Amino acid sequence: MGAAVSERARRVLEECLSIAAMSEEPGRITRRFLTEPMHRVHAHLRKQMEDLGMQVRVDAAGNLRGWWPAEASNGDRLIIGSHLDTVPNAGAYDGILGVVIGLEWVRLAQAMRRDCPVEVVGFSEEEGVRYGVPFLGSRAMTGCFDSGLLGLVDANGITVEEAIRQFGLRPSQIVQAEMDGGVRGFVEVHIEQGPVLDAEGLQVAAVEAIVGQTRGSLEFTGQANHAGTTPMHLRRDAMAAAAEWITEAESLAQRTPGLVATVGRVSVAPNAGNVIAGSVAASLDCRHADDSVRRAAVDQLTKRAEEIAIRRGLSVRWTEHMNQPAVPMDLRLTAMMADAIRDAGFQVRRMTSGAGHDAMIMAPRVPATMLFLRSPGGISHHPDEAVLLEDIEASLLVAEQFLKRLASSVR
Structural domain ending residue among the three candidates 280, 302, 324 = 324
Q: Provide the domain limits for residue 390.
A: 2-210+326-409
| Residue 241 shares a structural domain with residue 180 | no
| Residue 116 shares a structural domain with residue 221 | no
What is the pLDDT at residue 71? Answer: 57
| Residue 21 shares a structural domain with residue 99 | yes
- 8-state DSSP, 251: H
- Residue 220 C-beta-side C-alpha neighbours within 13 Å: 35
Round to whole Å and give the CA distance between 152 and 164.
Answer: 12
Query: pLDDT of the chain along its 411 residues, tens only?
Result: 577 889 999 999 999 999 999 999 999 999 999 999 999 999 999 999 999 999 999 999 999 999 998 654 556 899 999 999 999 999 999 999 999 999 999 999 999 876 789 999 999 999 999 998 899 999 999 999 999 999 999 999 999 999 999 999 999 999 999 998 789 999 999 999 999 999 999 999 999 999 999 999 999 999 999 999 999 999 999 999 999 999 999 999 999 999 999 999 999 999 999 999 999 999 999 999 999 999 999 999 999 999 999 999 999 999 998 898 999 999 999 999 999 999 999 999 999 999 999 999 999 999 999 999 999 999 999 999 999 999 999 999 999 999 999 988 765
Which backbone phi and psi does 141 adopt, to 5 degrees? -70, -25
What is the pLDDT at residue 407? Answer: 86
**Which alpha helices (DSSP H) does 219-264 contain, by range?**
238-254
Q: Which CATH number characterizes residue 371's domain?
A: 3.40.630.10
Q: Beta-carbon neighbour count of residue 261 at 10 Å?
A: 23
What is the pLDDT at residue 25? Answer: 95
Residue 403 · residue 116 · CB < 8 Å: yes
Number of domain units in the chain:
2
Structural domain ending residue among the three candidates 324, 339, 362 = 324
Which backbone phi and psi does 384 adopt, to 5 degrees? -80, 0
Round to whole Å and give the CA distance between 200 and 85.
Answer: 30
| Residue 265 shares a structural domain with residue 353 | no
Q: 19-39 in b/e burial notation, b at 16+ Cβ within 10 A?
A: bbebbeeeeebbbbbbbebbe
Round to whole Å and give the CA distance between 24 and 121.
Answer: 22
| Residue 245 shares a structural domain with residue 201 | no
Round to whole Å and give the CA distance between 46 and 402.
Answer: 25
Structural domain ending residue among the three candidates 324, 358, 381 = 324
Mapped onto helix, strand or coil, the DSSP state of residue 67 is: strand
| Residue 217 shares a structural domain with residue 204 | no
Residue 322 · residue 215 · CB < 8 Å: yes
What is the pLDDT at residue 410? Answer: 61
Mapped onto helix, strand or coil, the DSSP state of residue 212 is: strand
| Residue 45 shares a structural domain with residue 178 | yes
| Residue 340 shares a structural domain with residue 239 | no
Rg, the chain, Cα only:
24
In residues, how long is the chain? 411
Residue 174 · residue 67 · CB < 8 Å: no
| Residue 309 shares a structural domain with residue 400 | no
First to last CA, the chain: 25
| Residue 272 shares a structural domain with residue 397 | no
| Residue 166 shares a structural domain with residue 28 | yes
**Beta carbons within 8 Å of 171's beta carbon, 6+ residues apart:** 60, 150, 160, 161, 164, 165
**Beta carbons within 8 Å of 370's beta carbon, 6+ residues apart:** 187, 188, 189, 190, 206, 207, 210, 329, 337, 353, 357, 359
What is the pLDDT at residue 51? Answer: 97
Q: Which CATH number characterizes residue 298's domain?
A: 3.30.70.360
- 8-state DSSP, 159: B
CB burial of residue 75 (10 Å; 0-12, 13-18, 19+): exposed
Round to whole Å and give the CA distance between 120 and 7.
Answer: 20
| Residue 60 shares a structural domain with residue 171 | yes
What is the pLDDT at residue 75? Answer: 67
Round to whole Å and give the CA distance between 116 and 384.
Answer: 36
What is the pLDDT at residue 181? Answer: 76
